[in-house]
Structure 1
Amino acid sequence: MAAKRKVENLMALAVLATVVQRPMHRYEIASLIRTRGKDQDMDVKWGSLYTVVQNLAKHGFLEVVGTSRQGARPERTVYRITEAGRQEMLDWTRELLSTPEPEHPRFAAGLSVHMVLPPDEVIALLRTRLGALAESIAARRATLAEHLGDVPRLFLVEDEFTLAMLAAEAAWTSAFLDELTSGTFPDLATWNAYHATGELPPELAELAERGLDTD
Structure 2
Amino acid sequence: MSKRPVSNPLALAVLSCLWERPMYPYEMTTSMRERGKEDSIRLNFGSLYSVIKTLEKHGLIVVAQTEREGNRPERIVYAITEAGRREAHEWLRELIDTPAKEYPAIETGLSLITMLPPDEALELLEKRAERLGADIAARELSLTGEAAAVPELFMVEFHLRLAMLRAERDYIAGLAERIREREVGGIEMWEGLHELLAQGLSMVEIQRMIEAGDFGQEVADLFSS
**What's the TM-score, normalizing by structure 1?**
0.91
Cα separation, 2, equivalents of 1:170 and 1:103: 19
Cα separation, 1, equivalents of 2:175 and 2:83: 48
Quickly say closer, same or farther: Cα 1:148–1:25, change in 2 above 3 A: closer
The equivalent residue for 2:48 is: 49
Deviations 1:74-104 (A, max 9, x none): 1011100111111111111111110000011
The equivalent residue for 1:3 is: 2
What percentage of aligned pairs have identical amino acids?
A: 41
The equivalent residue for 1:202 is: 220
The equivalent residue for 1:94 is: 93
TM superposition shift of 1:175:
1.3
The one-letter amino acid of 1:113's match is: L
Cα separation, 1, equivalents of 2:31 and 2:67: 17
RMSD of aligned alpha carbons: 1.4
Q: Tell which deviates more after alignment, 2-11 or 19-28.
A: 19-28
> How many positions carry a matched residue from both structures?
206
The equivalent residue for 1:84 is: 83
Quickly say closer, same or farther: Cα 1:206–1:46, change in 2 above 3 A: farther
Quickly say closer, same or farther: Cα 1:38–1:177, change in 2 above 3 A: same
Cα separation, 1, equivalents of 2:146 and 2:13: 22
SS of alignment partner, residue 72 of structure 1: coil
Deviations 1:124-163 (A, max 9, x none): 1011101111111111111123355321111011111000
- Please tell me whether residue 64 in structure 1 is matched to residue 63 in structure 2: yes
Is there any run of 5+ residues in structure 1 with no aligned partner, and where? 208-215
**What's the TM-score, normalizing by structure 2?**
0.87
Is there any run of 5+ residues in structure 2 with no aligned partner, and where? 198-205, 208-218
Deviations 1:103-122 (A, max 9, x none): 11111111111111101001
Quickly say closer, same or farther: Cα 1:121–1:71, change in 2 above 3 A: farther
**Runs ≥4 in structure 1, deviation > 4 angstroms?**
none
Quickly say closer, same or farther: Cα 1:12–1:194, change in 2 above 3 A: same
Who wins on radius of gyration, i.e. which is larger? 2
Structure-to-structure mapping, 1:115-194, within 5 angstroms: 115-194=114-193
